Amino acid sequence: MRIVLLGGAGYLGTVATRHLTGLGHHVTVVDGLIYQRGDDPARLLPTTSAFIHADLRDPQALRRAVSGADAVVHLGGLVGEPACALDERLAVELNYASPVLAAMEARAAGVAHYVFFSSCSVYGSHDGTVDEDTTPNPLGIYARTKVLAERTLADLMDGRALTVLRLATVHGRSPRQRLDSVANRMTAQALATGRIPLNGGGQRRPLVHIADVADTLAQVLTTPEGHRTFNVGADRENYTIAEIAATVQQAVPGCRIDAGPERDEADARDYRTSFARLATAFPGACPTSLAQGVREVADAVQAKELDHPDLPEYDNLAGLKNSLAEGRISALADDDCTRLHADYATAPWSPR
């Protein structure tokens, strides 16, 4: 199968590319390497994949890239609320305009299947257990851009296969490592400082291992079917933040949890997620535990595979600040982006 991964040189994309090429698929990665952390696609990606350096908001580059593809996967977003809050217009362009422009090109090129990487963050804060039919409750820019993209893509891909993957928070090792998501960050902090800062810690979060995300992607790609939305993870991998800290503490003997009160600016996301739909469609999906992901990140830090785990190169927020300050990325505000920004500016954030 000919698969185009938009944003495929990132944390998830590099692992997905290796997995998909290993299964014999032909993979083309399109990425602008927007964090410019010395990312070298030749080092990050298998030699059997193709690489195109381009901006995912450029319709002409998207048109060339998706031509002849069997499936197009968009995983080129700006991840997490802190990065999105740095520049809301840029966040809307990367997380909303880009996937919509790519879907338009994919549709025009007759691509049979479009896959969009969304997030369980769309659920925000909920009592009880959320599933794919729960009305989203987006609490910030990141989740709002994802909800809006999901809705517009569903309209755009009417009559074609569209799969939306709402990922749990990802952990584990990647050629393009990120250490800024909760489990990876706590693991690196525990090893670097002997401490795990924990403020409050009662909020619930689902987690998923990076290899399980790549495998789920491979499975959905081989079964294109109508419009589907899956939460990606496993029921037993719902944790409170305090439980994540305890799991890290077990993997890093001697480290201490520094428990303090909840901070006012704390991330308010709090939900328990059902992954029953994925487990029914793909029995045995997402088998890897948090403890395994923590172990492999800890092993990589201890083996000095990650030279200085506290460096900004492992942190998208710091990387984006540098890119913005040095003018390497900015909102384009061209005609397409301006038109699509208007959708965001006028979106009713109450349930549709």
Q: Which residues bind ligand NAD (CB under 6 A)?
A: 7, 9-13, 31-35, 55-57, 75-77, 79, 94, 98, 117, 119, 167, 169-170, 178, 181, 316
Region of residue 286 (phi > 0: left; psi between -120 and 50: alpha; otherwise: beta): left
Q: Which helix (H) or strand (E) holds 201?
A: none
Q: Which is nearer to ligand NAD, 61 or 190 (CB)?
A: 61
Cα–Cα distance for residue pair 194/192, rounded to 1 Å: 6
Q: Which is nearer to ligand NAD, 88 or 258 (CB)?
A: 88
Strands 227-232 and 113-119 turn out to be: unpaired
Cα–Cα distance for residue pair 255/252, rounded to 1 Å: 6
Rounded to the nearest 5°, which phi and psi values hold at 142? -55, -55
Cα–Cα distance for residue pair 254/97, rounded to 1 Å: 47
Shortest Cβ 73–ligand NAD spacing (Å): 10
Shortest Cβ 5–ligand NAD spacing (Å): 9
Cα–Cα distance for residue pair 324/35, rounded to 1 Å: 9
Which residue's CB atom is positioned nearest to ligand NAD?
Answer: 10
Q: Which is nearer to ligand NAD, 34 or 198 (CB)?
A: 34
Shortest Cβ 97–ligand NAD spacing (Å): 9
Cα–Cα distance for residue pair 347/352, rounded to 1 Å: 10
- 145 and 96 in contact (C-beta within 8 Å)? yes
Q: Which two tokens stand for residue 18?
A: 């290796």
Q: Which is nearer to ligand NAD, 7 or 293 (CB)?
A: 7
Q: Which is nearer to ligand NAD, 56 or 196 (CB)?
A: 56
DSSP 8-state symbol, 330: -
Shortest Cβ 81–ligand NAD spacing (Å): 11
Q: Which is nearer to ligand NAD, 94 or 148 (CB)?
A: 94
Strands 161-167 and 125-130 turn out to be: unpaired
Q: Which is nearer to ligand NAD, 30 or 245 (CB)?
A: 30
Q: Which is nearer to ligand NAD, 153 or 170 (CB)?
A: 170
Cα–Cα distance for residue pair 322/318, rounded to 1 Å: 6
Go through the chain and tell me how many residues it has. 352
Q: Which helix (H) or strand (E) holds 29?
A: strand 26-31
Shortest Cβ 194–ligand NAD spacing (Å): 25
Cα–Cα distance for residue pair 151/155, rounded to 1 Å: 7
Q: Which two tokens stand for residue 194?
A: 């002997």
248-263 b/e (C-beta count within 10 Å ≥ 16 → b): bbebbeebebeeeeee
Shortest Cβ 91–ligand NAD spacing (Å): 10
Shortest Cβ 181–ligand NAD spacing (Å): 5
Shortest Cβ 232–ligand NAD spacing (Å): 8
Q: Which is nearer to ligand NAD, 240 or 258 (CB)?
A: 240
Shortest Cβ 316–ligand NAD spacing (Å): 5
